[in-house]
Amino acid sequence: MKKPSWFRLIDLVSITLGGFLTVGALIYALVNKATGPAGWPWIFVATAAAFFGIYLRFVWARKKWLDTFRWYPAYGFMVQCEDWHPYSDINFDNAVLAVIEAWSVVHPNALDVLKRDIKWVWFKRDLNETPLNPAHQKVKGVTIAGGYTMYVDYDKPDDALSDTAFSHELGHVIHGNVTGNWNQEDHHAFMAAHSLA
């Protein structure tokens, strides 16, 4: 699994297409000796430059955003730590492996499920204290249904990963992607029945 890149072909094609069409139209007009008001070619140049400028600004913003994450390559995690002290790769990977092993008892394909896509994790201080978190209630963690995105609460920068709800939220990701069921109550009942965190 590769780290997400600031460059994506779909962005280049979709955002700069108008710029390339504008350049093509300008070349066509010049080859065919088109006329117009004074300085008319500069309208084409400015329009094309605007498309390319928007693309460059978008790429710069995406790179700056991606730089706020720490990449854990073994299992494909992008982790935004805020001011929580990130774990070394080996400790983080061991925590993920422990979750995979625990869930593999009930979902033998847990590892395969996690290798399908990049996992996006946001550590948020006092997530459990704000009604404005994604769950709109006090929680220790939130998993976004249907994918590989989760938010994890921490209280102090030196909180151990095991003191957070990271393992629990990763369990939601595994169970939801295996079963297609994202109902929180069903998940918690399943976890309780199988002694999973």
Tens of each residue's pLDDT in the chain, 197 residues: 899 999 999 999 999 999 999 999 999 999 998 888 888 999 999 999 999 999 999 999 999 999 999 999 999 999 999 888 877 888 999 999 999 999 999 999 999 999 999 999 999 887 765 665 555 667 789 999 999 999 999 988 988 999 999 999 999 999 999 999 999 999 999 999 999 97
Distance CA 191, CA 185 (A): 10
Q: What is the pLDDT of residue 79?
A: 96
Q: What is the pLDDT of residue 69?
A: 96
The helix (H) or strand (E) run that includes residue 124 is strand 119-125
Helices (H), the chain: 9-31, 40-66, 89-104, 110-114, 166-179, 184-193
Angle 63-87-151 from CA coordinates, rounded to 5°: 65
Block residue for tokens 């994918």: 147
Q: What is the pLDDT of residue 83?
A: 86
Q: What is the pLDDT of residue 129?
A: 59
Distance CA 42, CA 47 (A): 8
Q: What is the pLDDT of residue 133?
A: 58
Distance CA 22, CA 54 (A): 14
